[in-house]
Structure 1
Amino acid sequence: MDKKKAISQLLTTLEIEALLRESKLEEAYTQLNALLEREPGNAYGWYLLGGIYRRQQLWGEAINAYNKAKMIDPDGPAAVAIEAIYEILNFRNTDLMNP
């Protein structure tokens, strides 16, 4: 990857992260889709997309996005995120249930 492209990718990622911090999920989603169309091998982009889906409780889509990130970068943060979703989905505490 040339230096200009790397800098552009970093700036785009920073912009998306800023949108996520501001809870501007639609804008972040739009920018992420554009980024991933240009760079489908961007593991961090797939990880961020999984985070958007997770915030919306779209668990299947989140897992799919995290799995794409994990396939590209097995040591990246997506592996932990997938496990967190499985823990959320498998959480059962009968003491908290109403009779």
Structure 2
Amino acid sequence: MIILVTIFVVSIVFYLYFKVRILNYKNPLYMEYTNGKARIALGLFISTFGINAYGFYQTQFALFICIIFLALGIAQLTHGYKVFKHYREEIIKLQDAGELD
């Protein structure tokens, strides 16, 4: 159970870090790239929160909430990974072409 709490706390810290980090960028490409990383952290946060809630209460209602949180968390995680992967490749292409600093 301590592992879930650790992942829970670390993922929310990373989510907040990436969301604040977006404010430092002027280039929308870097902003979307960082937002993809933030979505991955948010998905992990939501998923571990749902699992932890079920582990604490262990009722049928908590299981229902856990399933909903897992579905939302996995959706955020996969969408964030797709965004992260897409913009990473775009940044690499532009850096190789010398158009991006």
Q: Same fold (TM over 0.5)?
A: no
TM-score, normalised via structure 2 length: 0.30
Q: Which has the higher helix share?
A: 2
Q: Point out which structure has higher relative CO (alpha carbons under 8 A, 6+ apart).
A: 2
